[in-house]
Amino acid sequence: MTASTAHRPVRLSPLPNPVQTSVTVPGSKSYTIRALILAALVERPQGQPVRVWNVLRSDDGQAILDCLNALGIRTEWGKQAGQAYVDVFGQVRHIADTDYTLHANLSAATLRFLLAVSAVIPGRQTLLGHDGLNRRPVRDLVEALRALGVSIDYLGEEGYPPVRVNSCRLQASQLTVSGSTSSQYISALLMIAPLIEPEREASGQPVVIRLPEAPVSKPYLDMTLDIMRAFGVQGTQQDGYQRFEVPAGQTYTALSYVVEPDASSAAYFAAIATLTGSTITLKNLPLTSVQADMRFIEILKQMGTQVRVVDGDLLIEGYGVRPLPVVDMCDCPDQAQVLAVLAAFADGVTRIEGLQSLRVKETDRIAAVESELQKMGIRVEAEADALVIHGGQPQAARIATYGDHRMAMAFAVAGAVLDGLEIEDPAVVNKTYPGFWDDLRALGLGVSEVPTQSASEKSLERTNPKKIVLIGFMGAGKSSVARILAERCDRQAVDMDARILALSGRQSVTEIFDTDGETHFRALEVQVAEALGSASELIVATGGGVPANPQAMAALTAGATVVWLRVSWDTVWARLQHDSDRPLLRNLQQAQALFHQRQSVYQQVAHLQVDTEGKTPPAVADEIIQQLRLGAETLCPPLAPCCPA
């Protein structure tokens, strides 16, 4: 896939028959990031490198290398006997006392781990990433470090990157941190524990990390303790992962480390074996691995999959899928998406629980899975921390990836049996698995690029539209702009939420959500959209969630021009924070995540985008008229006095 075509959708063709083959997946992302950080913490003679084998070549792997290089820690790639490695030169405790900017791209683990490291090394570090990463929370880790006296400033929104760490020395024996949002906060503190100076009265005592509640993703903490031991530092967990101890006087000493194959990447091929009845051998992946996503292999066994160890490799024999009444994925949430895809093919209902952390990943993964499975004709019920999948006969569809590598890989599994399934923005897999599409081809799936629509073809969609459909997040001004457009162009304005209220018999949208539930609201949305589907000469103001409701959009937009009214989150919040009839704004963090998730949805379905920042509704209406007149002379009647030629 070339750079010029990397963002074109890919179309998948299924396996013609079950296969019997093997797959070698790349190194573990989680181990790679931890190993490179610990390599930079090893005390050793100047000029002697720490060699890390089987480092994952990916966007996330490059992010940690770039950050180490920014600190003056030199890294060099090499190869020996066909095996790649990275040599890490230098030690972070000996870097210059100056200002550093550490850009972590989209790697949350890199940013969070280095946030803790920055508290015990010289200099002043500014840590940030691309927009998606800057929406990933760091509050619990920052509060834990601040409680110990570390000076940390938020440079943007409170609780989120970018942040600036102004300290270089940490003295403590007791630390407290919440692990209810992410286990990475605990891992970050564990890894720096040997570098924390003991309090004078606690000299020789272990560093103790306490948690007020049980953490999510416990296997990732086992992984951290495992790699710390491999580098020469012992640590233990106690009290059900609510207390960790790292004895005093230890230093990191290992000069070589081999990264395991990635269990997360292997899971997609194990899922394909399960779904297609194939036999796939996962090379060099030990069944005894403590990687969190090894738990997914156990879940597949519950679906009827057979797992054996043959010559040190994992052999996965699939026999189809069956529903699982309840599955708790708190310890391996990264595989919830692919399990949801498998459950869509199972004859029955599967409930997937323990997904609270998915709301604050690259996207709101719960909402994203719900939306894309619904496109495939599958009934899904989304809860705050759970998904209920009503299995059936999924149909091929074009899958949005929301900038999330795991959405692309999880739904690609369905392409092993569904002809014509398409995945948008396939390059997102570069975050953790750049060779994913090539490995699917080697397995036997067809993977081909979907030609992009030409500008002339796309312009035809805007010629003589039956109706204009305004989309955008709540607070974008859709209803006001619709009324003005209708007046100026002698058309009828329709507010979908008003129609839904009239149909529901309720007094407000909040009452519908609270009394009947969001699923009922979305069903009413479809009903209203279908009623408007054949109508013409309309200006329709949609609710903010309509573009994520495939059935409603399909009915509503036939022959229509879709106009996205773009608005910033700050403007939305300023306009609506006191609006009591906005149920999706009750939780600020989830509302902001939903806003960012929907931006990609709006972009995918819109024919025209209009920026509304700093503009009045009449000005926005004028801009829509001017832009659409270029390709659709009949937008306004020729003699309409409010639309001069």
Q: What are the DSSP calls for 582-636, one per residue?
A: -GGGSSHHHHHHHHHHHHHHHHHH-SEEEE-TT--HHHHHHHHHHHHHTT-TTSS
Q: According to the model, what pLDDT value does residue 580 have?
A: 53
Domains of the chain: 10-25+262-449 (3.65.10.10), 29-258 (3.65.10.10), 455-629 (3.40.50.300)
Q: According to the model, what pLDDT value does residue 588 have?
A: 64
Q: According to the model, what pLDDT value does residue 451 have?
A: 76
Do residues 163 and 101 make contact, with C-beta atoms less than 8 angstroms apart? no
> Rounded to whole angstroms, how far apart are CA atoms 56 and 523?
44
Q: According to the model, what pLDDT value does residue 46 have?
A: 85
Q: Torsion over CA of 503, 504, 510 and 513, rounded to 10 degrees?
A: -120
Look at residue 421 and give its three-state secondary structure.
Answer: strand
Do residues 473 and 613 make contact, with C-beta atoms less than 8 angstroms apart? no
Q: According to the model, what pLDDT value does residue 173 have?
A: 84
Task: From the candidates 334, 404, 425, 497, give the one annotated as an active-site residue.
Answer: 334
Q: Given its phi and psi angles, is residue 285 left (phi above 0), alpha (psi -120 to 50 degrees) or beta?
A: beta
> Rounded to whole angstroms, how far apart are CA atoms 324 and 343?
8
pTM above 0.75, yes or no: no
What is the tens place of the pLDDT at every residue in 449-468?
A: 987 544 333 443 444 456 89
Low-confidence ranges of the chain (pLDDT < 70): 1-7, 200-202, 360-363, 452-466, 576-591, 593, 629-645
Q: According to the model, what pLDDT value does residue 456 have?
A: 35
> Rounded to whole angstroms, how far apart are CA atoms 426 and 217?
27
Burial class (CB in 10 A: 0-12, 13-18, 19+), 29: buried
Tell me, yes or no, if 334 is annotated catalytic: yes
> Rounded to whole angstroms, how far apart are CA atoms 225 and 207?
14
> Rounded to whole angstroms, how far apart are CA atoms 241 and 244?
7
Q: How long a stretch of residues is the chain?
A: 645
Q: According to the model, what pLDDT value does residue 645 have?
A: 29
Backbone φ and ψ for 274, nearest 5 degrees, come out as -60, -45
Q: According to the model, what pLDDT value does residue 489 have?
A: 81
Q: According to the model, what pLDDT value does residue 585 have?
A: 57
What six digits make up the tokens of 157? Answer: 């929104």
Q: CA 14 from chain center: how many Å?
A: 26
Q: According to the model, what pLDDT value does residue 641 have?
A: 37
Closest C-alpha among 214, 202, 217, 204 to residue 244: 214
Q: According to the model, what pLDDT value does residue 272 have?
A: 98
Sheet holding 83-88, edge to edge: 75-80, 83-88, 50-53, 256-258
